[in-house]
Amino acid sequence: SDEALVIFTPSGKRGRFAVGTPVLQAARALGVDLDSVCGGRGICSKCQITPGYGDFSKHGVTVAPDALSDWNAVEERYKSKRGLIEGRRLGCQAKVMGDVVIDVPPESQVHKQVIRKRAEARQITLDPAVRLHYIEVVEPDMHEPSGDLERLSDALRDQWDIARVTCAFPVLAILQTALRKGEWRVTVALHQSEDSETPRILHVWPGLYEGGIYGMAVDLGSTTIAGHLCDLRTGDVLTSSGLMNPQIRFGEDLMSRVSYSMMNENGAAEMTAAVRDGMNRLFGQVADEAGIDRNLILDAVFVCNPVMHHLFLGIDPYELGQAPFALATSNALRLRARDLGLDVHPAARAYLLPCIAGHVGADAAAVALSEAPEKSAELLLVVDVGTNAEILLGNTEKVLACSSPTGPAFEGAQISSGQRAAPGAIERVEIDPATKVPRFRVIGCDLWSDDPGFAEATAASGITGICGSGIIEMVAEMRMAGLVDGPGLIGSPDQTGSDRIFQDGRTWSYLVHDASASGGPKITVTNRDIREIQMAKAALYSGARLLMDKFGVDKVDRIVLAGAFGAHISPKHAMVLGMIPDAPLDKVTSAGNAAGTGARIALLNRRSRAEIEDTVRRIHKIETAIEPRFQEHFVNASHIPNAVEPFPVLSG
């Protein structure tokens, strides 16, 4: 017959095609994901496929040795010059001659799965906004007076079916040279964030460009700025790096920065300059670490809380400092990176995720994108723990969001022996309930304090303080060891039977470690420290509890702790403190920096941008400040674990 059956694996898509149809064309017709940059000219090798020969009883076909056409001159030339893996063919050159089974290897798939370790989280399908297209442009002549850009647009229309394009202004300056240097063959980087938006030419290279194009996913936090540099062709993260937000010098927390802008004439502008300067240093740092030219960064996605959002954009955050906390805009933003003062490719794009509300920012939207509560059959509580906790509660039925002011205690601030997470900080604690003696581990050392060799192993860093996750474990362990009661008071030596308790003004304190003999600090927990943690955890819990009220439930199925800090919290200790609602411990997991992951998803999959914009529109925002129940929950939650709520898993 003059038709043949073509079956593609792993997709399983199949169809009948006229003998002589190129494999790439058959793939296109069936919607099989097979890459091509050169448009089927046999030079980019993106379309590689592996034909299978012999008996495929599973598919009901037998593939004859001559099921594909012989190697033509183009394919031969490619193989001899550049080499091809044994068994591979170029899909644009090999033609279907008989029934055949064709495997598309992962590297030939455009929309490949980007590996994400957590099975329960949303998986990422690669579909970046910026892609490369190779084209051959008609030369100008005296009778056809159109411009080079117009003929280039025609080529995109004829060779790639791209009906309309716009051109980023900086491209015009390099276009003519590139066309002539490439002898009318060029590769363009085309940006298309959504189907509705006209694609935009961001760059043009002479000939077939085989180098990389990159994107940055950035989580702009009040304390740190963290970025992932991604290869837009593979979805791989090349480097991740971070730095302190230089705005810290204007105020530790968000509200102090808002008041700095209120009290200083150019306050907001100074902070905008500082954060943009920091951002540029971060871009330079990751580009250096990955050994790439920062001019090849063509796309960037940013997530941040509303105050950072406004300051990064150059908007005075004044309105965010007072009720009703109106944002200049809550919509997602599509900008030129240059408009944000970024020193990257001059035509590079920037995308900011939408904000959920005046208190719940694009960082929370990114967490929603990463954890996908709206796709969860189970009722999922997501808590992003920082100086402000962003809380999401939802399932396929609906999603609620709020933020709760936990303050900086979880970052070790306002805690007498508190410090940021760094080598030498106590991060894990156990207190023997009988002897009340603590054993602990510090960041940068795998040994416990009572292991042999601990003193030597920590000699360099010293034992310098307690970090946020350490203080949570400490207070929970003190409660379990009977050193602290439900209302949060440290007992006297008589009440507790511990000689580590000492008088400290009008209250009692607990001695954790005395390093003063070796010139180090005395690490203690004071009753004020306990108080700070009680306030912070009560804020977090009441926010979650309020969302549960609004949802009409008194328990949740699953809890995800997000945030750089959330990743280090022990679920058991968080529950002992009553920081999160009671749930089976195996249903409490950590998502690491979910906001950063959300930024990476939006960078690598352009469709996810429209998706999160839609989700955010449907999220119900709860404003904790005007909810009377919040205060009530807060008072109850100040107790450890809680004055009224049962914690059956803990007691069981």
Interacting residues with ligand FES (CB under 6 A): 24, 36-38, 40-47, 90-92
Q: Which is nearer to ligand FES, 25 or 524 (CB)?
A: 25
For the bound state, the minimum distance from the C-beta of residue 134 to ligand FES, rounded and expressed in Å, comes to 8
Structure tokens at 447: 């040994």
Rounded to an integer, what distance in angstroms lies between the CA atom of residue 359 and that of residue 356? 8
Distant-in-sequence, close-in-space partners of 161: CB < 8 Å, separation ≥ 6:
none
Helix ranges restricted to H, 137-223: 148-160, 169-181
Rounded to an integer, what distance in angstroms lies between the CA atom of residue 24 and that of residue 34? 7
For residue 333, the cross-strand partners are 352
E strand residue ranges, 548-608: 558-562, 588-592
Report the SS3 class of residue 114: strand
Element (DSSP H or E) covering residue 224: strand 224-231
Q: Which is nearer to ligand FES, 132 or 381 (CB)?
A: 132
Q: Which is nearer to ligand FES, 35 or 384 (CB)?
A: 35
Q: Which is nearer to ligand FES, 122 or 185 (CB)?
A: 185
Rounded to an integer, what distance in angstroms lies between the CA atom of residue 534 and that of residue 540? 10
Strands 399-405 and 388-394: antiparallel
Q: Which is nearer to ligand FES, 40 or 235 (CB)?
A: 40
**Side-chain-facing half-sphere of 564: CA atoms under 13 Å:** 18
For the bound state, the minimum distance from the C-beta of residue 236 to ligand FES, rounded and expressed in Å, comes to 21
Q: Which is nearer to ligand FES, 44 or 167 (CB)?
A: 44
**What is the 8-class DSSP label of residue 639?**
S
For the bound state, the minimum distance from the C-beta of residue 210 to ligand FES, rounded and expressed in Å, comes to 11
Q: Which is nearer to ligand FES, 90 or 533 (CB)?
A: 90
Q: Which is nearer to ligand FES, 93 or 404 (CB)?
A: 93
Rounded to an integer, what distance in angstroms lies between the CA atom of residue 238 and that of residue 234? 10
Rounded to an integer, what distance in angstroms lies between the CA atom of residue 113 and that of residue 499? 57
Q: Which is nearer to ligand FES, 42 or 346 (CB)?
A: 42
With beta carbons less than 8 A apart as the criterion, state whether 69 and 22 touch: no
With beta carbons less than 8 A apart as the criterion, state whether 602 and 217 touch: yes
- In terms of residues, how long is the chain? 652
Report the SS3 class of residue 394: strand
Q: CA angle, 359 as apex, 194 and 530 as ends, to 5°?
A: 130
Q: Which is nearer to ligand FES, 133 or 600 (CB)?
A: 133
Rounded to an integer, what distance in angstroms lies between the CA atom of residue 117 and that of residue 343? 32
For the bound state, the minimum distance from the C-beta of residue 135 to ligand FES, rounded and expressed in Å, comes to 12
Which has the closest alpha carbon to 560: 378, 355, 304? 378
Q: CA angle, 525 as apex, 523 and 529 as ends, to 5°?
A: 130
For the bound state, the minimum distance from the C-beta of residue 24 to ligand FES, rounded and expressed in Å, comes to 6
Q: Which is nearer to ligand FES, 82 or 117 (CB)?
A: 82
Backbone dihedral region for residue 516 (phi beyond 0: left; psi -120 to 50: alpha; all else: beta): alpha
Q: Which is nearer to ligand FES, 50 or 492 (CB)?
A: 50
Rounded to an integer, what distance in angstroms lies between the CA atom of residue 149 and that of residue 140? 11
For the bound state, the minimum distance from the C-beta of residue 23 to ligand FES, rounded and expressed in Å, comes to 9
Kindly write down the DSSP assignment for every residue of 422-445, as one continuous string.
-TTEEEEEEE-TTT--EEEEETT-
Rounded to an integer, what distance in angstroms lies between the CA atom of residue 228 and that of residue 222? 17
CA distances from residue 341 to 74, 323, 364 in whole angstroms, order as listed: 46, 30, 24
What is the separation of C-alpha 116 from the centre of its chain, rounded to a whole number of angstroms?
Answer: 11
For the bound state, the minimum distance from the C-beta of residue 88 to ligand FES, rounded and expressed in Å, comes to 11
Rounded to an integer, what distance in angstroms lies between the CA atom of residue 269 and that of residue 285? 24
Q: Which is nearer to ligand FES, 43 or 481 (CB)?
A: 43
Kindly write down the DSSP assignment for every residue of 254-266, as one continuous string.
HHHHHHHHHHSTT
Residue nearest to ligand FES (CB): 92
Radius of gyration of the chain measured on its C-alpha atoms: 29
Q: Which is nearer to ligand FES, 42 or 246 (CB)?
A: 42
**Side-chain-facing half-sphere of 446: CA atoms under 13 Å:** 0
Q: Which is nearer to ligand FES, 34 or 368 (CB)?
A: 34
Which has the closest alpha carbon to 230: 286, 293, 191, 188? 286
